[in-house]
Chain A
Amino acid sequence: MTLHPLIAALSKHKAGVILIAMQIALTLAIVCNAVFIIGQRIERVGRTTGIDESNLFLLSQQWVGAPSGDDADSIAKLDAMQREDLAALRALPDVQSVSSINSLPLLGSSWNGAIDIKPDSKKAFGRTTYYFGDDQMFPTLGMHLIAGRAFNAGDVHNQGFRDQKDPDIVILTKVLADKLFPKGDAVGKAAYLNGSGKPVTVVGVVEKLQAPGLFNSDDTTYNSTLAPVRLDANFARYAIRAKPGRLEAAMRAVTPALYAVNPMRVLDDNSVKSFADIRHDAYEADRGMAILMAVVALVLLCVTAAGIVGLTSFWVGQRHRQIGVRRALGARKIDILHYFQMENLMIAGAGVVIGIAMAVGLNMWLMTQYEMARIPVLYVGVGVLAMLALGQLAVFVPARRASNVPPVVATRAA
């Protein structure tokens, strides 16, 4: 088939051709970026926390009429209350282990600071999030220790929630340890927290532990520092690991157990939350965004396909007689079919070329406005193929109808 007559025919209805090409270009640009955003969100939701999430739940509670926690005496009282709670929880038959904890990955509320290998630094070397818990923190969260040792009961001390005293020892996540000590020999080294002059010793390294904050960028989300500290305040959080398969029973048992210890507390329906629910809530917005993007992209493709069907049908109707003439002059059905398919391929081809430029341009604009990465070539490539396929799919029905125009049409009265 020679392309010359095809192009000549296209130039006869420029407006329609330009409109279809424009529509394909716009659709490509929007769909590529929408799918890219979906991909990013799925990647975010799929990040692992580094803890064993099954059979784990969190209990948050507040005491009513608790001591203020502003002086040594009241801190001692708060700590006694907390230890009483921990003992009661550990005694439950469905509970495997319990740790006091200030937060959990994906929970949102976090305690952040700076960490450095030099004392008294003015400019923070690395940002980190802090986890405070007791010696049961490791078995309860189910983290993987890859160097050094975990905390033991002798390491743990308590301090008031607002006391800014640095701990004596810490455990770092691997990414943070590697950043501070690139040689991989973090264990036994000294680090300095929050620009202080007091050295704290790194005693261990865990494989992975995600920060509680959801909006941490990818390079800080695993920068966690663990300290063997039981924080005392008028509220407390306990991370609880149920025995395998006993999660629901354990979650039901904790509230009555704590009320038995001390009824003067606020413990409502939101106080006991499984980690699965924490994860679900944390990513609800991301899931919503991904679903919305997917629906819009899908509807957009349908609208564009419908547009192509509509315009091509019109052209087929308009050229009814010419098709008859061509058939009468010896063109086969398949030639007519190929003609319209080829025509669509050319228009769609022009559309995707413009569309690639628009997709990249849109991505660059989005990068300046929102937190967004550069779109990988793969997304654009797949988008281009999808648009060309969509064009062929949409043109098939009207093209088939065109190929069925009988040659006799040519002889009928004009």
Chain B
Amino acid sequence: MFSYYFDLALRSLKRNRVLTALMIVAIALGIGASMTMLTVLHVLTGNPLPGKSQTLFYPQIDPRDMADYEAGEEPPRQVTWIDGMNLLREKRADRQALMTGGAVPVQPTQSALDPFFSDARYTTAEFFPMFDTPFRFGHGWTAADDEARARVVVITNELNNKLYSGKDSTGQTLRMKDTAFRIIGVLGDWRPNPHFYDLNMGDYSGVESVFMPLSTSRDLHLPLNGSRNCWGRGGADEAHFENASCVWLQFWAQINDPAKVAGYRDFLEHYSQEQKTLGRFQRPANVRLPSLMEWLDINKVVPSDVRLQTWLALGFLLVCLVNTVGLMLAKFLRRSGELGVRRALGASRRAVFGQLLMESAVIGLAGGAGGLLLAFVGLWLVRRQPSDYAELAHMDVAMLAATVVAAVVSTLFAGLLPAWRACQITPALQLKSQ
């Protein structure tokens, strides 16, 4: 029965090529546009650390003075040096890391390479195990290295390829800002999207090329990068940022047991109150503890243009579907005579309905194939855009399957009304009028 209906559908579609082509093109355009934008959205709203993100939290506390105070306001999105260090020392979470961004002048020993500036991340040791960073060679540093302000560095695979043509460079010396560092690790391919741990660097930027202990970077006065907010008369030059009333560091905590999250929040609350008693904080305790995915929502990392374009594409699909419903209605009703004969010869309403839906499914399948092609073209166009997420716009297997399914389902849905109307034909009336 299935193959018979399929054959009937093909014959019927061939009979009226222009109308068939119109329907297929409309479906292909709608599906192509929607799937392009949904794929971009899918990539941008992805989880940077699947399986791990629910255990990562970004504590926010409010150390500011009373100027411009408004109750219930969001606390700053970074922490001060003093608070970061205090939270780090308390070790109330399973793992924690304090970090900030920077840039270091790299002075390659190879004479063929000019000195260049490289993005750097200054962080404490637990960054690597907490974010499950893959290592190609070597390993991260230890808390003892943090303590000792060790001149050790972890570099990315990319920088390793550039400087050491991909060979195991651990143990080698890397000169940065006239200081010799020992390479202790080379990261494997790692590019969490978004760049969640410090969104000031550009939401979808790649990871920094150089990682070193935060204490070392402060010891050497390496240049900082990123956002800083100061209040009161607390501004200071970079060398004395430790005591400034400025937020400029990111603090991340890993809490494995969901039951302990509330406990950590209590700890932050308690800490804020304690600091207020000490006179360091002035505002009433105001703490937040968003999880990684909540943090991305708060920061609205998905560009609003992308969301707008997605809505536009879905609206476009809707119009294309309404259009297809209309054309299918015309097509099915035009065949009233043929359907009347089938009904008179004993075909049940259900059988006719099934036959017509099969025809919609064939259109959907053809439209889906066209849509897939258009989506690939669309994604290629997106990748040529200058935005920092452009290179991420690739279709994965899930989206590929979703494209075809969406095309068939939406066309079947569009075929329901026309097929139902066509089934209402009274066979006798049709036969008489012939």
Contacts and interface: CB of A to CB of B under 8 A. Distances in A.
Nearest to B67: A122
Interface string B175-205: 0011000000000000000000000000000
A86 interface: no
Nearest to A312: B330
A267 to B, nearest CB: 9
A195 B386 CA distance: 38
Contact of B326 (A195, A266, A311): A311
Interface residues of B, number: 49
Contacts of A220: none
Contacts of A65: 105, 177-178
A321 B392 CA distance: 59
Contacts of B331: 314
A303 B26 contact: yes
Interface stretch (A3-11, A13-21, A138-146, A335-343): A13-21
A314 B325 CA distance: 13
A293 B29 CA distance: 14
B117 A26 contact: no
A122 B309 contact: no
B323 A306 contact: yes
A288 B330 contact: no
Interface size class of A (residues with CB under 8 A): 35 or more
A292 B316 CA distance: 12
Contacts of B115: 64, 264, 266
26 contacts: A19-B325, A26-B318, A30-B316, A64-B107, A64-B115, A65-B177, A68-B221, A70-B221, A70-B238, A160-B237, A163-B237, A195-B67, A266-B116, A268-B116, A285-B386, A296-B312, A296-B313, A299-B316, A303-B26, A306-B26, A307-B22, A307-B26, A310-B327, A317-B334, A318-B333, A370-B304
B305 interface: yes
Nearest to B322: A23
B235 interface: yes
A366 B308 contact: yes
Interface string A102-133: 00000000000000000000110000000000
Nearest to B228: A162
Interface of A: 15-16, 19-20, 22-23, 26-27, 29-30, 34, 37, 62, 64-65, 68, 70, 122-123, 160, 162-164, 195, 234, 264, 266, 268, 281, 284-285, 288-289, 292-293, 296, 299-300, 303-304, 306-307, 310-311, 313-315, 317-318, 366, 369-371, 414
A24 to B, nearest CB: 10
B387 A285 contact: yes
Listed from nearest, the 9 A-B pairs whose CB atoms lie closest are: A314-B330, A307-B323, A19-B326, A70-B239, A164-B235, A162-B237, A23-B322, A310-B327, A64-B115
Given A303-B26, A310-B327, A284 B385 contact: yes
Contact of B322 (A19, A123, A234): A19
A318 B137 CA distance: 75
A28 to B, nearest CB: 10
B257 interface: no
B3 interface: no
Given A162-B237, A284-B386, A292-B309, A64 B105 contact: yes
Contacts of A266: 105, 114-117
B327 A311 contact: yes
B148 interface: no
B304 A310 contact: no
B260 to A, nearest CB: 36
B308 A16 contact: no
A266 B22 CA distance: 58
A266 to B, nearest CB: 6
B52 to A, nearest CB: 31
B24 to A, nearest CB: 12
A310 B29 contact: no
B255 interface: no
B322 A285 contact: no
A300 B105 contact: no
B356 to A, nearest CB: 15
B316 A310 contact: no
B323 to A, nearest CB: 4
Nearest to B19: A310
Contacts of B154: none
B44 to A, nearest CB: 15
Given A30-B315, A303-B323, A314-B330, A123 B68 contact: yes
Given A64-B105, A162-B238, A310 B22 contact: yes
A313 B333 CA distance: 13
Interface string B231-260: 000010111000000000000000000000
Nearest to B116: A266
B305 A23 contact: no
Contact of A314 (B178, B239, B334): B334
A30 B308 CA distance: 12
B105 A30 contact: no
Contacts of B107: 64
B328 to A, nearest CB: 10
A296 B326 contact: no
A332 B84 CA distance: 88
A300 B316 contact: yes
Contacts of A26: 315, 318-319, 322
Given A266-B116, A268-B116, A310-B19, 15 more contacts: A20-B326, A22-B322, A26-B318, A30-B312, A30-B319, A68-B239, A70-B239, A195-B67, A266-B114, A293-B312, A296-B33, A296-B313, A310-B326, A311-B326, A370-B307
